[in-house]
Amino acid sequence: MESNSSTGRVCPRGASFYTWQMGDSAQGVAQKSGITVQSLTEANEGVDFASLTAGDIICVPPKQLSCVGSDTYVVQAGDTLNKIARAYGTTAAELMKLNPSIVATNLQIGQTLCVPKKDSSSNTCPPNCATCPVGYDAKSVMQGQTFTDLLLANDMSYDAMRKINPAVLPSGPIIGQNYCIPQGGARGYCKTGKQAYQIDEDRTLGEIAAIFNTTQGYLLQLNPTLKPSDFVKGQIICVP
């Protein structure tokens, strides 16, 4: 944490102080600082940007991490630099070279690191890679995307996104963070071991059950938000 003795304002680690100028706006300051409005807002909890006047002091977080020629990794609970290094087939010393500003013994949950690109032929899953159920695709959070952006881009409900991806926080997804989405933009979610299926023609619930060698009751159990009459052409459902 850094503090400004003249104002008493305390900024998050890595953030710098900025003196509000006449004509400034949150969007304008964010753009010229190379950050998102969301990250600027999070660094100034409780600040009403519409009420700021020239001379007020705010906190500006550092530019979002840009890992040229390498990938990004979001630190998870229990991570150490050595653990992350092993997962990427490198050493802690090499990670320090890629991330000269980090403190090796004080990694923070949610902190984004630059890591070596993995060999495409490797089957090793990085510590935060998304292992998605059958019928789901893996995606990564892009720069500037908010939780709402993810819902809109993938036509998913809030509940479905949270249940499938509990590590993706509504308060702010992390750039490079991986998440799972149902194929076809399903609003629901399927349990591990089950798959999403889009009903391709007019069928009865019994006919669909027969296709998957199961019962009507089990299909309803796998799709607790659907009524029997909801199983119509175009509907995406969970099946064994």
* Each residue's pLDDT tens digit, 55-76: 999 998 876 555 667 777 877 7
* 178-182 and 195-198 strand pairing: unpaired
Range 115-139 average pLDDT? 59
Q: Are 71-115 and 195-239 equal in CATH topology?
A: yes
pLDDT in tens, 28-53: 888 787 777 777 888 888 889 989 99
The CATH classification number of 71-115 equals 3.10.350.10
Q: How far apart, in whole angstroms, are the C-alpha atoms of residue 86 and residue 196?
A: 35
What's the pLDDT score for residue 135?
A: 59
Domain boundaries, the chain: 2-60, 71-115, 136-182, 195-239
Higher pLDDT, 4 or 176: 176
What average pLDDT does the chain have? 76
The CATH classification number of 195-239 equals 3.10.350.10
Q: How far apart, in whole angstroms, are the C-alpha atoms of residue 224 and residue 183?
A: 19
Asked if the model's pLDDT at residue 24 lies above 60, the reply is yes
The percentage of the chain sitting over the pLDDT mark of 70, rounded to a whole number, equals 80
What's the pLDDT score for residue 119?
A: 53
Helical H segments across the chain, by residue range: 26-33, 37-43, 81-87, 92-98, 147-154, 158-164, 205-211, 216-222
pTM listed for this prediction: 0.32
CATH ID of 2-60, from 3.30.1330.20, 3.10.350.10, 3.30.160.270, 3.40.50.1370: 3.10.350.10
What's the pLDDT score for residue 6?
A: 53
Q: Which of 18-27, 105-114, 182-191 has the highest mean pLDDT?
A: 18-27
CATH superfamily of the domain spanning 136-182: LysM domain (3.10.350.10)
- Per-residue confidence band for 7, with pLDDT thresholds at 50, 70 and 90: low
What's the pLDDT score for residue 77?
A: 72
What's the pLDDT score for residue 57?
A: 92
Higher pLDDT, 132 or 10: 10
